Amino acid sequence: DIQMTQSPSTLSASVGDRVTITCRASQSFNTLLAWYQQKPGKAPKLLVYGASILDDGVPSRFSGSGSGTEFTLTISSLQPDDFATYYCKQYHSYPLSFGGGTKVEIK
Amino acid sequence: QVQLRESGSGLVKPSQTLSLSCAVSGGSISSGAYSWSWIRQPPGKGLEWIGSILHTGNTYYASSLRSRVTISGDWSKNQFSLTVNYVTAADSAVYYCARRPDYGGIDYWGQGTLVTVSS
């Protein structure tokens, strides 16, 4: 099974900051990784798939990169709407697996 | 517009069986381009993938839950279901059903349903 480890678990940042979240996989795979944003009481929302492809309607300040065992989600300029929890998920092989999540808080 | 809606028991006694269904509209679970999943989230915790069913009927489960979980599809009703046997308090969570295209991430989610395990 592939284990996904996200870091940091919590991140304090200000509006306008550049933010990077990292997801490390216990086994190497290509780019079958997605990133989701979740706000309290809501279902997650897809941001990125294929490690770097933005889903329709996702602002361009979000970007994803990586392959192998290390993947990153970057927010180039944090906006008030971006304070949320972010999860990575590998879909390279079953069983699928999520990272533990990164909560982005207001500094 | 694809919609998924979970339904089922919101309160389950310990050691009993949790049963949920997910009704899909605006798309067919028989489509070969998608898999259909159950995901859960205990209060205040992260997301946990439970398992998926494909249009072929093939199922895949999380290793930690495989012995207690069954996902099945009702193609005539365009819905899929989850059962979890021998539940404990650790199974209390919001349960989501979801659709994932073969090429990417989950694009449609249900609204989620809270299941509490308590006597």
Say yes or no for a CB contact (<8 Å) between B105 and A36: yes
pLDDT beyond 90 at B103? no
Which pLDDT does position B117 carry in this prediction?
A: 98
Please name the residues in contact with B67: beta carbons below 8 A apart, sequence gap of 6 or more: none
Average pLDDT over residues B84-113: 96
**Which of B46, B48, B105 is nearest residue A49 as measured by Cβ atoms?**
B105
Chain A residues closer than 8 Å to B110 by CB: 43
Tell me the per-residue pLDDT of B70-79, one tens digit each, with 9 for 90 and over. 999 999 999 9
Full 3-state SS string of chain B: CCEEEEEECCEECCCCCEEEEEEEECCCCCCCCEEEEEEEECCCCCCEEEEEEECCCCEEECCCCCCCEEEEEECCCCEEEEEECCCCHHHCEEEEEEEEECCCCCCEECCCEEEEECC
- pLDDT confidence tier of residue B62, bands split at 50, 70 and 90: very high
Is the Cβ of A91 closer than 8 Å to some Cβ of chain B? yes
**Which of B46, B51, B63 is nearest residue A1 as measured by Cβ atoms?**
B63
User: How many angstroms separate the CA atoms of A88 and A26, rounded?
Assistant: 13
**pLDDT values of chain A reduced to their tens digit, one per residue, 107 residues:** 999 999 999 999 999 999 999 999 999 999 999 999 999 999 999 999 999 999 999 999 999 999 999 999 999 999 999 999 999 999 999 999 999 999 999 88
Tell me the per-residue pLDDT of B5-37, one tens digit each, with 9 for 90 and over. 999 999 999 999 999 999 999 999 998 889 999
Say yes or no for a CB contact (<8 Å) between A89 and B49: yes
DSSP symbol at A96: P
Please name the residues in contact with A70: beta carbons below 8 A apart, sequence gap of 6 or more: A22, A23, A24, A25
Tell me the per-residue pLDDT of B32-49, one tens digit each, with 9 for 90 and over. 889 999 999 999 999 999
Single-letter code of the amino acid located at B53: I
- pLDDT confidence tier of residue B102, bands split at 50, 70 and 90: confident
